[in-house]
Structures are given as structure tokens and as C-alpha cells.
A and B are shown apart, each in its own frame.
Chain A
Amino acid sequence: MRGLLLRKLPSALLVLFAASVLVFGVLRLVPGDPAAVLAGPDAGPEVLAAVRARLGLDDPLPVQYLDWIGGLLTGDLGPSYVIGGETADLITDGLGATTELTLGALLFAVLIGGTLGILGATARRPWTRGAVRSLTTAALAVPPYVSGVLLVLLFAVLLGVLPPGGRVPLLTAPDLGVQYLLLPALCLALPSAAVLGRYLEDSLRRALAEDHVRTATAAGIAPRRILWRHALPHALPPVVTLLGIQTGHLLGGAVLVEAIFAWPGLGQLAEQALVRRDYPVVQDLLLLLVAVFVLVQLLSDLVHARLDPRIRWE
């Protein structure tokens, strides 16, 4: 286990480092003077100079880079000139909302995907299998911005049972918070649920066709127990890796879903910062999201190894 971590960690750190350089470098390539953008069109030369000094734009690039990374690591991100307030506060505010949304979606994805996958792999009746197939195909065929619109139309506009957008934090008011969370989390989860379901179905189907399942059947073990205690543990490890990758897609998709449901998370912050060209905030956010994703993938690799003894001993 530790060996695996030691083997995986360097490449994860390398990817993180490269990503940070990329984010840093690309935003320096933006045409125009960032100070001019940040100070606004009417700023005089003194204001410009002040902004430049505050951002450290006159320092050599490596120094700027190190300052930025140092700030990230210490949590001192400086003020946001365009949006206003401390960048660190903006991010902390959004982080809670996005975490809530992503975890909610992850839960949905695992529940729906798991159900569909197991049903699809074990259903005997052709029509059950057909129904599962159609459901996953439909969930895959409808982009989140379409399903989001449809969900709002159905539950908020036509039925009026759930709010069309906004957020009440789950921790302050759980009953109300859930109502607000339900639609966006479902919308975000659907594509991942379909992908997970397909993959689990495939993996489980293959596990059920394995010789060791035949061994267990011949030994008189009940089919239900074979499914849960023999085939599923064998089918699960690769699904965990996929789950790690899907978490990344949930993070990315959150940007879109937050826009649809006016969910005040990091995605909304990113969109706002992008449209208003608040580059320091964009830069911080991008690296944060990438770092979370790389971490989640590392974690899923470790869990995969935990579940599959053959990897542990390699």
C-alpha cells in the first residue's frame, strides 16, 4: 500500500506542478495589461502603478510564480480588485456550496448508477434489461443543460413542488436545504450515473461470467449471495477508478449546473471572475479545482489497490 503511494505520488505532484505553471503562464499571455484591466478604463497612471505594485507585476516571472504558490499554501490570496473582498473569503464561501452540490451529486450517481448497473447485469426478463438500457441511453443523451431545463420546467414550473434555483445551506436548515439541493444534484449526477451504471453493468456481467462464479454455483451458494459477496467484490475495483474520474467531471459540471440553478458555488464565482476578467481569482480557482481532482484520483487509485489484492502484491 505504501509502496503504491510512493509510486503514484511523484507523478501526481508532477502533474500538479505542471498544471500550476500552465495556469500561471497562460494567464500571463492574455493580451493587454492586467493592471489596466483590473484598474478599469478610467484609471490614471498612479492608480495603475499602485495596482502593478500590489500584484507584483514588476517582479520577474519566477518570483511572481513563487509568490502566488506561497500565497496559496498559506491561504493569503490577497484582495480581489474586481469582485471585491478577500479572495480567500470568496473561495471559502463558494467551496462549501460546491462541496455540498458535488457530494450530493456523487451520492445520486452512486445510487442511481449502482442500481442501474446491478439491475442491468442481473435482470433475466428482456424487458427489464431493455428498460435499463433505455434509461442509461437517455441519461447519456441528455446534456446537463438540457436535463436542468427540463427538471426546472417539470418540478418548479409545472408542479411547483421544488424551488427553481438558489441555495439554503444544508447544515443551517436541513429540511429546506434538501429541497434546494435535490434538483441541481440530480441534474449534475445524471450523466455520471449513466456512465457508472454502464460500466458497472459491464464489469459485473464479466465477473458473473468468470469461472469462480461457476465454482461458487457448483458449491451450492445462493445466487443472491454470489452476486453480492463474490461477483461484486470482483467487479468493483475498476469501477472505483472510474468513480474517481467521474468526480472530476462532477467538479467541471458543477460550473454549468450552478449557472442553471443559481447555486452560489465556486462555479458561479469562476464564471463571474471570468466574465469580469478578475484574473487572480480565476487563476486561484483553476489550480484549486485541478488540485482537488488530482487528489481524488490518487485516492481512488489507493482504494482500487485496497480492494484488489493482486495489485497490492505486485
Chain B
Amino acid sequence: MTTPLLDVRDLDVTFTTPDGPGLRAVRGVSFTLRRGETLAVVGESGSGKSTTALALLRMLPGTGRITGGSVRLDGTELTTAPEDELRAVRGTRIGMVFQDPMTALNPVLTIGRQLDEVLRAHGGRDRAARRARALELLSLVGIPDPARRVDDHPHRFSGGQRQRVLIALALAGEPDVLVADEPTTALDATVQDQILTLLGDLTRTTGTALLLITHNLGVVARTCDRVLVMYGGTVVEDGPTAEVLARPRHPYTAGLLAAVPRLSTPSGTRLTGIPGTPPDLSLPLAGCAFAARCALAEDRCRTAAPPLTALATAAGPVRAACHPAAERSVPLPPPPPPVRAERPAPGPVVLAAEELRKTYRGRGRHRHTALDGVSLTLRAGETLGIVGESGSGKSTLARILAHADPADAGRILLDGQDVTRPGRTALHAVRRRVQMVFQDPYASLDPRMTAGDIVAEPLRAFGIGTPADRPARVAALLRTVGLDPAAADRLPRAFSGGQRQRIGIARALAPEPAVLLCDEPVSALDVSVQAQITGLLTDLQRDLGLALVFIAHDLAVVRQVSHRIAVLHDGRIVEEGDADEICERPRAAYTRALLAAVPEPVPAARAEEFAA
């Protein structure tokens, strides 16, 4: 076997903090990448996957430093290379694509200029030749009519097109390795699909190796031959994608796979999240990083760090860092088939909307129709899933139903009564019945109020209980959403994302509403936490008989939690019906496109083999 193109050994990255020992974000990570190979690094937030990618080119932000290990590119050590030598590697040997296409391009320079800068840095002397090459690169990444678009500024391009431009920038120096850090996370599913196809085509035709950093197992399965699973700054498992995703050896990989909602999972089932929270990276780690959350952990897992051990499998070399796995000859038992949660039959209609319209006026004569005649009904104890991509009007719909914004036309009926334009008292009464859970668990909590005060706010507003018994009510609400009541006097910043979302749910439950509007309640959360929150919402619905509107862009999550699904596109509902029916027998072309774009972590054929 020839020497690998990229050889990373025992890489350690530490962020020094002013008070404390420092944060060890990456701990002894080793992997190799061969010429033309595609490797995915997958993990949740805080797993160290992005830090590892940035460390390759010594581009760590802030106080981050490589504190150990080596990165060799064709045998050349990069961790100790002088800065100008490193600069010659950047772009020409290793190119990078970053997550957010909205901010990764310079807004005040034309894209032609930005391409030109890169080509110039790599020795392109002739101005005309650089321009010709820029046009060539733009057409390579699928920008239509590059000669016309090359002198436009980034804000004239859509998110997907900007990501294409970024890929063109990364390929300008004809690198041997393309490192893509969450390149599709900020994009809609259909656009994500196009970008992944582009990346796949480019690596195949140019022979560039791809290192893809992602949290999405579906993207991994869709794009890469080999996968590296990271947890708590360490590599827990690596091997051929098909093998690792179908027969995980490490309990974390298995847990993660079990927590991912599949498009094929029928409505009304429950996913198992991974209990607990990721390890605190500022603390020294004695044993396995996952031991505290692992159901299979033994005593030695907590005292001795398991080495990454090669396991013999039929499909190829799989390595796992797990004491029990190293001794086991068979893969972990497959997760129990998804259980259908018992759901009471939906009751009478509580909320209905008829022909809602909303138009936003921009500067000058520009108008944007966000909602164009949307009608829907919602029954007690029922979950209506609303699916749409960005700009489909789904958030506008939530805000109008919650009476946060007025509708331009149409009617809203609550318990059969018209509440479209309620008076002051009527609005107060409506709000008590209809509550909302917001997308961003960081922005939706007042940073200056304690969790207890935040949850108590609606109690006070609706005059529920006396001031004396409110603390007890708040404690009960916090317990309902699975939080420790002792956390009531902490500020929001002391909580993790999932915990904050629980506070938001407790606040929405405080006035004992009949309808809960959830606007992308899990899209900002890690997969394992997502499963916890959707589980909580399902339980609350069962226990309290809530009617839920569940708005999301992820069809798989929506199918799993919803009774019925409405597909929203350009402000209109293009299809509505039974959740399973829509996902298995879609009628509208748009729904079919949406379904086709969702990447599945385990290919369907393999999933069947799995079940067998």
C-alpha cells in the first residue's frame, strides 16, 4: 500500500481559557486519507469534528493551539511547517469549503474579484488568463451564464449558488484534498441534494480527495466511502460507510443511528434519544468519553481510555474505540424496531384557518407574498405537521396563527369562533388557549430573566394562581418538561440548547393551552437531543390532550410526530393528508421532489436486510 495522502496521528487541540486548565477539543485523533478517497467525519456539536478540520491547515480560531500529534501531507509535516510554507499548501494542496455560504463570501467584492484573488495568490500572472479561468471554474460548479454573473456581488446569488461559488474558490488552486465543513447545513434539502451531487461529480472527475465534516448521517451515506465517528473530541469508530451505518460497533454510533428520524419510519413512532449530555471538555478524561451516557458501560470504560482497535469484518477494516466491542465478534444487536406510541383518537376541531393571506412590502414597489390562501384545520389531540423549505411561508403561518402578526385576509377560528381580529380581552383569551414554541432556543428566552421568571411570566399575565403558589407551579412545569426545579433561578445562558428548548416548552404550557404551535422546535438541536424533545412533545400531547402544529423543514421528523401533514410551497399548501400516505404515495410533484431530496442514513435495501 502506498503512503496515504493525508496522515493525521494523535492530533491534540487545546483552547486555552483565562480561568481554568483549557479546553481539550480534540484528543488523540488519528486517521488517513488516500488520494481520491471520500471520507466523512461525523459527530454532534462539541465532538471536535470542525476543529479537527481547521487544525489540518492550522487555521484554529481564537486561542486554539495544536498541542500534540502530527499532520502529514505526502510526508510533509504541517503542524510545525513555517507560515509561508503552510500558505503554499492552503488552496493548492488542501482546499476548504465552509458552512455558511451567506457569510463565507466577502459582501463588498464581486465574485470574479474573489476568484481572481485566489488565482493570483497561486501564481496566475496574466490577468486575462485568470479571468478566463474564473469563468471556467464558475461553469464547472454549475453557475449558469458565468460571463454575465462574474461581476456580480455575492448578495445577488442564492444560498445554493453561493455555496457553488465557494466550491469554485476552493477548487481554484486544484487541490489534492477538498475539506468541506458542513457545506450543506445552511441549505434546503433540495439544494443540499444538488450540492452533494456536485461535490460527488467533482471529486470523481478531478480525482480530488474529499474530507466531509457533517452532523448528518444521511449526507454521509449519500456522499462518502468511509466514515469517522467522533464523540467528545475522540474518534470512536471508523470504517467503510455502508458497514458502519448498517452494523455499528460502538454504542455511540448505534445510539446516534437510532436517534435519526428516517423517512421510512411511520407516523406515531418514538425514537430513542441518547440520554444525558456530552462531556465537559475542560475536564480531564479518564476513560471512554461516552461512558457516562452508555448503557453498556463497564467499570473499565470509566477508568481506561479504549484504544481504536481494528475489528475483523467481512466488508473491510472497521476500527472502534470500545472495550466491550473489541472483544465482541458480532456487531451490536440492531435497535428495537420503532414502537408505535399509543395515541388517543383526535377530538373535535379546535383551530381552523380559512384562506389566510399575508404580503410583506419591501422597499419601493417590491412586494413579497408570504401566504397565498392557506386553509387548515386542527383537532384536539392531533398533530398537524407543516413542511416547507425556506421562504415557503411556514414561519409566517405560525406567527399569524399565534396572533404575533395580523393576516391581510382570511379567517382564524378557535373552537368555532372567529378570532381573526380579536379585541383586547378576546385576544387575551385566545392567547391563553393558543401558545407557541420557538425555533431558536437562544433568542427566544430573555437573557436577563431566570428560567423560573420566564416560565412564571404567562402565569402572571393570565392571573393564574396567587403570587405565593407560583413558585410551586413553576417547579411543577419544569418537572413536566424534564428539568430539575432547582434550575429555576439560573439564567438562560447556563443551559444547553435542548434544556433551553424545554424551558420554552414549559413557558408555553404554563397557561394550560389547547393548541401548541411549534415553529421548527428541533432544527437548532443535535440529533440525540432532537429525539428527546420530539418525545417530550408526543408525551405532552398524550397526557394533556394538546393539539400540535409542528412546523419543520425535515420531512422525516414531521412524518414521525404528525397525524397529518400539509406541504407548504411558495405560500400555498400544495398537498395535505395523512402523514404516512403523503410520504409513501405523494401526489404533488413538489412533495415528490422534497421526498427524493432527503438523504437516508441507511440505504433502503440495507435497511430491509437489517430488519430481516
Contact = CB atoms under 8 A, between A and B. Distances in A.
Nearest to B86: A220
Nearest to B91: A220
For chain A, give the interface size range. 20 to 34
A313 B59 CA distance: 34
Contacts of B95: 218-219
A220 B153 contact: no
Contact of B173 (A216, A220, A307): A220
Contacts of B117: 216, 219, 221, 225, 229-230
Nearest to A308: B108
B467 interface: no
Interface string B94-109: 0110101001111111
Contacts of A237: 108
Contacts of A309: 107-108, 153, 155
Given A233-B108, A313-B155, A220 B118 contact: yes
B121 A221 contact: yes
B118 A211 contact: no
A276 interface: no
A210 B106 CA distance: 9
Nearest to B62: A209
A310 interface: yes
Interface in A65-99: none
Interface string B357-383: 000000100000000000000000000
A8 interface: no
B262 interface: no
B557 interface: no
Contacts, number: 90
A217 B90 contact: yes
Given A211-B100, A230-B117, A220 B88 contact: yes
A220 B96 contact: no
Interface in A219-234: 219-222, 225, 229-230, 233-234
A210 B114 CA distance: 15
Q: Which of A221, A222, A225 has the most CB of B within 10 A?
A: A221
A229 B100 CA distance: 22
B515 interface: no
Contacts of B109: 230, 233
A218 B100 contact: no
Nearest to A233: B108
A237 B155 CA distance: 16
Interface string B103-127: 1111111000010011001100000
A222 B106 contact: no
Q: Which of A215, A229, A230, A310 has the most CB of B within 10 A?
A: A215
Interface stretch (B164-172, B497-505, B575-583): B164-172
B122 A234 contact: no
Contacts of B153: 309-310, 313
A215 B108 contact: no
Nearest to A237: B108
A214 interface: yes
Contact of A218 (B108, B114, B170, B363): B170
A314 interface: yes
A62 B444 CA distance: 55
Contacts of B155: 309-310, 313
A54 interface: no
Interface in B54-112: 57, 59, 87-92, 95-96, 98, 100, 103-109
B107 A218 contact: no
A28 interface: no
B92 A214 contact: no
B156 interface: yes
B92 A215 contact: no
Nearest to A215: B104
B100 to A, nearest CB: 6
A313 B118 CA distance: 26
Contacts of A219: 90-91, 95-96, 117-118, 121, 169-170, 172-173
Contact of B121 (A215, A225, A308): A225
A234 B155 CA distance: 14
B57 A215 contact: no
A234 B104 contact: no
Contact of B166 (A210, A215, A222, A230): A215
Interface string B245-275: 0000000000000000000000000000000
B89 to A, nearest CB: 7
Interface in A261-314: 307-310, 313-314
A220 B122 contact: yes
B363 A314 contact: yes
A308 B153 CA distance: 10
A110 B358 CA distance: 49
Nearest to A209: B61
B98 A211 contact: yes
A216 B121 CA distance: 10
Contacts of B108: 233-234, 237, 307-310
B121 A211 contact: no
A222 B91 contact: no
A157 to B, nearest CB: 47
B103 A211 contact: yes
B118 A221 contact: yes
A215 to B, nearest CB: 5
Q: Which of A210, A216, A233 has the most CB of B within 10 A?
A: A216
Nearest to B110: A309
Q: Which of B92, B107, B108 has the most CB of A within 10 A?
A: B108
A35 B118 CA distance: 72
Contacts of B121: 219-222, 225
B98 A222 contact: no
B118 A230 contact: no
A203 to B, nearest CB: 12
Interface in A223-250: 225, 229-230, 233-234, 237
Contacts of B173: 219-220
Contacts of A225: 117, 121
Contacts of A221: 91, 117-118, 121
Contacts of A211: 98, 100, 103-104
B87 A214 contact: no
A288 to B, nearest CB: 34
A310 to B, nearest CB: 5
B115 to A, nearest CB: 9
A218 B57 contact: yes
A308 B154 CA distance: 12
Nearest to B58: A217
Contacts of A308: 107-108
A245 B117 CA distance: 34
Nearest to B87: A220
A210 B103 contact: yes
Given A215-B166, A219-B90, A230 B156 contact: no
Contacts of B104: 211-212, 214-215
* Those 3 A-B pairs whose CB atoms lie nearest each other, nearest first: A220-B91, A220-B90, A218-B96
30 contacts: A211-B98, A212-B106, A215-B96, A216-B117, A217-B90, A218-B59, A218-B91, A219-B90, A219-B95, A219-B96, A219-B172, A220-B87, A220-B90, A220-B91, A220-B118, A220-B121, A220-B122, A225-B117, A229-B117, A230-B109, A233-B109, A237-B108, A309-B108, A309-B153, A309-B155, A310-B107, A310-B155, A313-B153, A313-B156, A314-B363
Interface of B: 57, 59, 87-92, 95-96, 98, 100, 103-109, 114, 117-118, 121-122, 153, 155-156, 166, 169-170, 172-173, 363
Given A216-B117, A218-B170, A233-B106, 16 more contacts: A211-B98, A214-B59, A215-B104, A215-B105, A216-B118, A217-B90, A218-B57, A218-B95, A219-B91, A219-B118, A220-B87, A220-B88, A221-B121, A233-B108, A313-B155, A314-B363
